A and B are shown apart, each in its own frame.
Chain A
Amino acid sequence: MSEVASSYSLAELMVVAASRVFDNEGEVLATGIGLLPRLAASLAMSTTNPDLMMTDSQSFLLSKPNPVSGMKSHAGQANETWLGFRAVFDNVWSGKRHAMVGPSQIDRFGQANISALGGTYQQPKVQLLGVRGFPGNSISHGNSFFVPKHSTRVFVEGECDVVGSIGYNPDRLPKGYSLDDIDVRTVITDLCVMDFNGPNHQMRIVSLHPGVTEQEVRDNTGFELAVVDNLGVTPAPTVEQLAIIAELDPMNARAKQLKDNPPGERRG
């Protein structure tokens, strides 16, 4: 066991927390959308789960994850399998995947939205990306969420404005399905780690980041949360983990992902 780091950023704490979702996944495609989730998957593949599969974000599966910053070309990377955009769907539908995505909204059912905000479906106030692959991902394999700024704007009171992924909403459950067929996993935010293992798949606080209170999490969430027994603090990165993160992100792009790059230890 490497010693715990005495100093680390919030981004690094979140990366380490996020990497844990891939620890016991075995041989699945780990897809982290966005720099910090990708760094989390890369860290897991480099440490706890070398059986993970990751792509070059383009067309190939790699035997060793590419760095998330400082790449000038794809030449010389550790290609092992062609996995173009369409082949990813074959993998998605086979279930051998765990995706970590960053939605604009999440509701109490674990339904998520990256499509549009406000207005009507015909004329949204803010058009975002579109549902992309959320519907297919959410019905096919495990999905976790990464939220850089925990607020009631993201964790919304009602349902998401556009429900892009299936969650634990009994009213939307397809015929022949049970809620246990749905597999929404972990939520990593800048305040805490949560899952959906509360009563009736209620979203549940699993650990609080150092210096964060349970009330702070509740104040920034638009719905009621369950909480684990013996609520603890999110484990700090180890010296070894920080060294591997630095190797995977040589340009320190992680420092630019959260506003003002706050420290991970916010006590005192």
Chain B
Amino acid sequence: MVRMARLIDVTRCTACRGCQVTCKDWNQLPGEIGEFTGSYQSHMDNSPLRWTMIKFFEEEKSNGDVQWVFRKHSCNHCGDPGCLKACPNNALAKSELGAVYRIEENCIGCGYCVPFCPFDIPKIDEVNEKMKKCTFCIDRIANDLRPACEKTCMPGAIMYGSWDEMSALADKRLEAAQKRFPNAQIYGKNELGGLGNIYVLPDGPQNYELPVNPTLAPTLGMWKDIVQPFGNLAIAATLIGTGLAFLFTRRKAFVNVESSKLAEGGYHDEQKNDRAL
């Protein structure tokens, strides 16, 4: 199977938030009334019940006008996902389609994945003790349907296809965007093994709450690659070691009893039998 990707053309988004609504619709997530955010942005951040949202950014153009930029915020389905490696219970998996998804019964909402995501995507549902995030609509794309958000996007700001197709399309879109935004750039082609979301941004990623050079914490993987296997080994070795020592001491104790009994002239019942004879 080919790795799939979404192209998120921020220069085309009109903030209709159709994707935000249709994501809730397909995934059966009830609506949440949030606090006032100070702008037209609907909520401050994603939540266990909100897997995608449009973030609003106000910028000043060179001529003094204000322009609005809208970025769809959702899981990027990294080529090298930190969350997956951080999960102690193998509750995260990566499909051949490139979707990083959660295995319901394995996830216990421990939250170990949260600090290892450079995009602050995993949200912990404290009530059900599960991590929740965008699934890349794996239930749809695995059945040759398009992701819900892409299907609903009117201005073509979200596109869906194979990673290579989207990568090529991003180059084309960039050319068009650069006419309006001289600083326009592509984000997500090289970051973390290539993201499942390739962005066309009007300006540098730092302006849109995206890390310029997303990196994974150095302690990532030490848990799974070192502490877990060697820890298991150490505990098993201790158990086996004490077990063997126990067998050894029992054998020795048995031999001691035997020899002392022999020295005394045999076992008690044997002595009795001798007398009886």
The yes or no verdict on A and B being binding partners is no
Interface residues of B, Cβ cutoff 8 Å to A: none
Interface residues of A, Cβ cutoff 8 Å to B: none
